[in-house]
Each structure stands twice: as structure tokens, then as C-alpha cells.
């Protein structure tokens, strides 16, 4: 059993009681709410004639259904169901004294982008949201967990969830990333190594040199996809990078109050002699950018590697999944992903919808054009991100290249708004899930990759190694290089 890790310390600090079934009652310090998973919970609270226990610790915004075209955000929304969901959230937050970041606030966006950039997510907190990507907030050294709607009801009514304490796996990420390789590639590599269910029963503590070198936005991308590896939460111990990021943000206190909080943040770091349930090492020194070739995020290869054959996998379940994936993606084993035609390029989401992600993409797009026939969308993770990008002139780079520059929302990650794949379109996507049907069409095909790789795919109209667009890169690969590997 783990001891003296950040997870142990933050858990103890928030543990209210042990429940009769052996679970712990855990206080949630930050509850994030969006329109899709909360209305049923608010209704349950009303039915039971209960009050919201901690409205001041609860913050809401709208993301899943948010239209991303400016003129489609006029109220009432054209889509009646979306309007109903948004209105319900407005009503529920107003009636209960909960802060709501709506379209008019200038701060609307994806919960997991908004809370970090406003300084709501801080080290040593417990964070919950009715969304599995709540692990994102672990980037600050907090415990972030996705919950279902009945648990949202629990939090609204009591500020708490009933939870099982998990095992803690330390993932030591060694090496230093090469040019054109990013945080997204680190987490895809980890999921490739440990599998999509490797983290079940665990939280992941990410550490080591490659993690320390990441800026906060990179760390958020890594923690974001913990759930794709089966780990309900993932976190990184806070350090100066974390504190520098937090200083001056809207919900972070200043001066002495900041220093006091910082001493708490320092105190929750995993001790040098902390005990972990297990430790695994992943070396990222020589990795190439990764892309998925299948229908779950574990079906992923470095872009230099051929698509594996079902018989390459030991486990029966992996072999079956590989067969299904090859069929859905219309791929042959041994084929390279380089040169795989794409119809849509989608940049954004709670994984890669932050300012540095858009900056990285513009490095590729500057002075280049989206290939003919490719539909390219750049969707900022929040309106704050959008404004910041526009101040830097990044929007113009996207527009000049032929991208559509949109308003904030979850957009084509799960296609609950108008942004959707059609038929069997292939999407080069900076999102986090490549499940069948995920992007709105049951025959649609998703290839997950980093923002720079999405931009490169948009320009070429096919999966390509983004490093060929970076100066001084010795590593750009073509499909020919890969067929040699395959031979």
C-alpha cells in the first residue's frame, strides 16, 4: 500500500469519515459542472428537497453542446435540445448561487481548460466533475476524478463523494523529448506501453526528467489522458513551474495568502521516501511522434513504425481488438500510417486546446495552406484561450492557412454540437478518444495525434511527420522509411 505520496496526503486531508461499506467519504474542494451530466442531478436534489451544500466551491460552464460558430451562439440556440440543456444549467446555477461562465462572460469554455487558466484548480485539492477527463487537474498536484450523475447529486447535497482509495503507480518518464515531439506523445507512449486498462485500480503519479521539463499546458495534456489508460486519476507533484503558472491568476490569492497556500502545496508533494504500489519506467528520449491506428487510444504507434498485425499481440482480447480496428480503419497490418489520407483536421479539446497547442500548430501552418479537400477546424478550449490567441495574431495564421477559426467548446471531440464527421471521413484529431462513433459518425475514423501533427496532416492531406516542417530537424520520416522497417 502506498505511503506518503501526494495521493495519500491529499486523500487524508479530505477524508471525512469511513462509510459502513468500507468506502471513504471524501470532501471535494472544487466541483466543476457542465450542461450534459448535471441537470438530472439538480432535479434529484430538488425532488429530495435538499440544498446545495457548497455553492461557493462549485463552478459551471457550458462546453459539450456549445455551438462553435459565432452566429450560432445567439439565443435561443437553433438546436432545441441544446437550448434546453443550456437554459437548465443557467436556471440551476442562478437559483443555487453557483458561478456560471456563460457565453457572455468571456470565460466560457471546456471545464478542464477554464478551471486551470482561472486558477481555480490548485495543488492539494480534490476536484470532481461529471466528466472522465477531470484527471486533467492532477497536473497541479491535485486529485481529479470523473464522476457519474448520482455522484454529482452526492456532491451537490453534501460536498462529498463515496470513494475507494486506489493504488498508486509511479510512472518515471526518462529522457528528454526531441524537437517536434510533445506532451501528447508522452501520454500516448505511456498508454501504448501500459494498455487501455493497465491503470484500472490505480492512480498514476507522473514524474521524472521528461515530466519536470514540461510546462503546465503539457502537464495538463498528460494528466488529461490518464483515463484513457484506465487510471481514474493522474497527477504530477507541484513545483516552481506550477507555482509560477498560478501566480496572478484570477482565483489565486496574492501576497502573504499566496505564500501560505504555497507552503501547503509544498507539504503535499510526495516525500522523497514515499512508497508506491509499483513503479514503471518509460523512456521518451528517442520517441517519434505517435499516432493511433485503431479504435482505442492504446492502438497507437510511433509514426516511424508499421501498423501491427493481430498476431503480434499476445492477449486474445488484443488480437480481436486489432482485427476489428484494421477493418474499421481500412488498414492492412504492416502498412505505414504515413500517407494515410485525412479528410478533416481537428485542433482543440481539453487535451490540446490551450494557447501553446495553437502556437505549436501555427509553427507548422505559417506560410502554408491546408490541402485541397481537407476541412480544418481550430477550436479554442476556452474563450480566454481564443482571446489570447487573437492577441498574438494566431487566428490569422489559421485563417490564412485555410482553417476555420471557431469559438470555444468540446466540438468534434464528441460531436454533441454541429461539428461532426460525416460518413467514413478520416479525422486527424488532437482529441483523446478514437472510439467508433466518437466523432459523430459510426463509420468515421479518428487518428489521434499532437497539435503539430494535426497541422502537418492538414497541410499534406495525409498523416505526415510534423518534424519535416521544423527547421533543423534531423528526424522527418516518409512512408518509404517505414516500409523498410516493415520489411
Among 52, 143, 160, 337, binds other proteins (CB under 8 A): 160
- Angstrom distance (rounded) from CA 465 to CA 428: 12
Among 55, 119, 148, 339, binds other proteins (CB under 8 A): 148
| Selected range binding other proteins among 94-102, 146-154, 332-340, 453-461, rule: CB under 8 A | 146-154
Among 4, 15, 475, 483, binds other proteins (CB under 8 A): 15
Site for other proteins in 108-127 (CB under 8 A): 122, 124-125
For 433, the grid coordinates are: 478518444
Among 162, 309, 371, 479, binds other proteins (CB under 8 A): 162
Residue 150 as a binder of other proteins (CB under 8 A): the answer is yes
Q: How far is the CB of 376 from other proteins (least distance, A)?
A: 22
Of 179 and 443, nearer to other proteins (C-beta) is 443
Residue 212 as a binder of other proteins (CB under 8 A): the answer is no
Site for other proteins in 315-344 (CB under 8 A): 317, 320-321
Q: How far is the CB of 279 from other proteins (least distance, A)?
A: 21
Q: How far is the CB of 178 from other proteins (least distance, A)?
A: 31
Residue 158 as a binder of other proteins (CB under 8 A): the answer is yes
- Taking CA atoms, 118 is separated from 16, 95, 122, 128, in Å, by 28, 23, 10, 16
Residue 359 as a binder of other proteins (CB under 8 A): the answer is no
Collect all residues with Cβ–Cβ distance below 8 Å to 223 and sequence separation of at least 6: 135, 136, 137, 138, 139, 144, 206, 234, 235, 236
Among 98, 118, 436, 454, binds other proteins (CB under 8 A): 436
Dihedral through CA 207, CA 210, CA 212, CA 217, nearest 10? Answer: -100
Q: How far is the CB of 485 from other proteins (least distance, A)?
A: 27
Of 66 and 455, nearer to other proteins (C-beta) is 66
Q: How far is the CB of 302 from other proteins (least distance, A)?
A: 22
Q: Look at residues 290, 307, 301, 295 and name the one whose alpha carbon lies nearest to residue 465.
A: 290
Site for other proteins in 375-414 (CB under 8 A): 414
Q: How far is the CB of 360 from other proteins (least distance, A)?
A: 27
Residue 21 as a binder of other proteins (CB under 8 A): the answer is yes
Among 3, 4, 25, 96, binds other proteins (CB under 8 A): 25
- Angstrom distance (rounded) from CA 294 to CA 341: 15
Of 62 and 336, nearer to other proteins (C-beta) is 62
| Selected range binding other proteins among 103-111, 257-265, 279-287, 333-341, rule: CB under 8 A | 257-265
Site for other proteins in 26-85 (CB under 8 A): 27, 29, 36-37, 39-40, 43-44, 48, 50, 53-54, 57, 64-65, 79, 81-82, 84-85
- Taking CA atoms, 103 is separated from 37, 202, 320, 339, 467, in Å, by 19, 37, 45, 39, 37
Burial class (CB in 10 A: 0-12, 13-18, 19+), 119: middle
Among 9, 137, 219, 433, binds other proteins (CB under 8 A): 433
Of 2 and 362, nearer to other proteins (C-beta) is 2
Q: How far is the CB of 405 from other proteins (least distance, A)?
A: 24
Phi-psi region of 447 (alpha: psi -120 to 50; beta: other; left: phi over 0): beta
Residue 141 as a binder of other proteins (CB under 8 A): the answer is no
Sign of CA dihedral 421, 423, 429, 432: positive
Of 160 and 453, nearer to other proteins (C-beta) is 160
Of 44 and 331, nearer to other proteins (C-beta) is 44
Residue 362 as a binder of other proteins (CB under 8 A): the answer is no
Site for other proteins in 261-300 (CB under 8 A): 261, 264, 296
Of 215 and 320, nearer to other proteins (C-beta) is 320
Count of residues binding other proteins (CB under 8 A)?
78
Site for other proteins in 175-204 (CB under 8 A): 196-197, 200-201
Q: How far is the CB of 147 from other proteins (least distance, A)?
A: 6
- Angstrom distance (rounded) from CA 142 to CA 56: 19
- Angstrom distance (rounded) from CA 129 to CA 156: 11
Q: How far is the CB of 355 from other proteins (least distance, A)?
A: 26
Residue 435 as a binder of other proteins (CB under 8 A): the answer is yes
Amino acid at each position: 500500500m502506498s505511503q506518503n505520496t501526494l495521493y495519500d496526503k491529499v486523500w487524508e486531508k479530505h477524508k471525512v469519515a469511513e462509510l459502513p461499506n468500507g468506502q471513504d467519504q471524501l470532501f471535494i474542494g472544487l466541483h466543476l459542472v457542465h450542461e450534459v451530466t448535471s441537470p438530472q442531478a439538480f432535479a434529484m436534489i430538488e425532488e429530495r428537497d435538499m440544498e446545495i451544500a457548497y455553492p461557493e466551491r462549485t463552478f459551471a460552464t457550458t462546453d459539450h453542446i456549445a455551438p462553435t460558430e459565432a452566429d450560432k451562439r445567439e439565443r435561443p440556440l437553433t438546436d432545441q435540445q441544446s437550448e434546453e440543456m443550456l437554459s437548465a444549467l443557467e436556471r440551476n446555477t442562478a437559483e443555487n448561487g453557483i458561478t456560471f461562465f456563460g457565453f457572455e462572460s468571456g470565460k466560457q469554455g471546456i471545464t478542464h481548460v477554464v478551471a486551470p487558466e482561472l486558477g481555480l484548480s490548485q495543488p492539494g485539492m480534490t476536484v470532481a466533475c461529471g466528466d472522465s477527463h477531470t484527471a486533467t487537474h492532477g497536473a497541479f498536484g491535485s486529485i481529479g476524478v470523473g464522476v457519474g450523475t448520482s455522484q454529482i447529486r452526492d456532491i451537490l447535497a453534501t460536498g462529498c463523494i463515496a470513494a475507494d482509495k486506489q493504488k498508486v503507480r509511479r510512472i518515471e518518464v526518462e529522457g528528454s523529448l526531441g524537437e517536434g515531439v510533445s506532451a501528447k506523445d508522452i501520454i500516448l507512449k505511456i498508454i501504448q506501453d501500459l494498455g487501455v486498462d493497465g491503470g484500472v485500480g490505480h492512480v498514476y503519479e507522473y514524474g521524472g526528467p521528461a515530466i519536470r521539463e514540461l510546462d503546465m499546458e503539457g502537464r495538463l495534456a498528460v494528466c488529461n489522458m490518464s483515463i484513457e489508460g484506465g487510471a481514474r486519476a493522474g497527477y504530477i507533484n507541484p513545483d516552481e513551474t506550477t507555482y509560477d503558472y498560478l501566480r496572478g491568476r484570477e482565483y489565486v490569492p496574492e501576497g502573504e495568502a499566496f505564500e501560505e497556500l504555497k507552503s501547503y502545496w509544498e507539504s503535499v508533494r510526495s516525500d522523497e521516501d514515499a512508497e508506491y504500489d509499483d513503479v514503471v519506467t518509460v523512456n521518451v528520449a528517442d520517441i517519434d511522434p505517435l499516432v493511433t491506428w485503431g479504435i482505442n487510444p492504446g492502438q497507437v504507434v510511433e509514426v516511424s513504425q508499421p501498423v501491427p498485425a493481430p498476431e503480434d499481440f499476445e492477449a486474445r482480447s488484443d488480437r480481436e481488438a486489432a482485427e476489428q480496428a484494421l477493418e474499421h480503419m481500412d488498414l492492412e497490418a504492416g502498412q505505414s500510417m504515413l500517407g494515410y489520407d485525412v479528410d478533416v483536421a481537428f485542433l482543440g479539446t481539453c487535451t490540446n486546446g490551450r494557447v501553446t497547442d495553437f502556437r505549436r500548430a501555427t509553427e507548422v501552418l505559417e506560410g502554408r495552406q491546408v490541402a485541397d479537400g481537407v476541412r480544418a477546424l481550430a477550436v479554442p478550449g476556452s474563450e480566454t484561450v481564443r482571446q489570447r490567441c487573437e492577441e498574438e495574431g494566431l487566428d490569422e495564421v489559421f485563417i490564412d492557412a485555410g482553417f476555420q477559426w471557431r469559438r470555444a467548446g468540446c466540438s468534434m471531440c464528441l460531436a454533441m454540437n454541429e461539428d461532426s464527421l460525416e460518413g467514413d471521413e478520416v479525422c486527424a484529431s488532437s482529441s483523446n478518444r478514437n472510439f467508433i462513433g466518437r466523432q459523430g459518425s459510426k463509420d468515421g475514423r479518428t487518428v489521434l495525434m499532437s497539435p503539430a501533427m494535426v497541422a502537418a496532416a492538414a497541410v499534406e492531406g495525409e498523416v505526415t511527420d510534423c518534424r519535416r516542417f521544423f527547421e533543423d530537424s534531423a528526424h522527418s520520416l516518409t512512408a518509404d522509411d517505414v516500409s523498410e522497417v516493415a520489411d
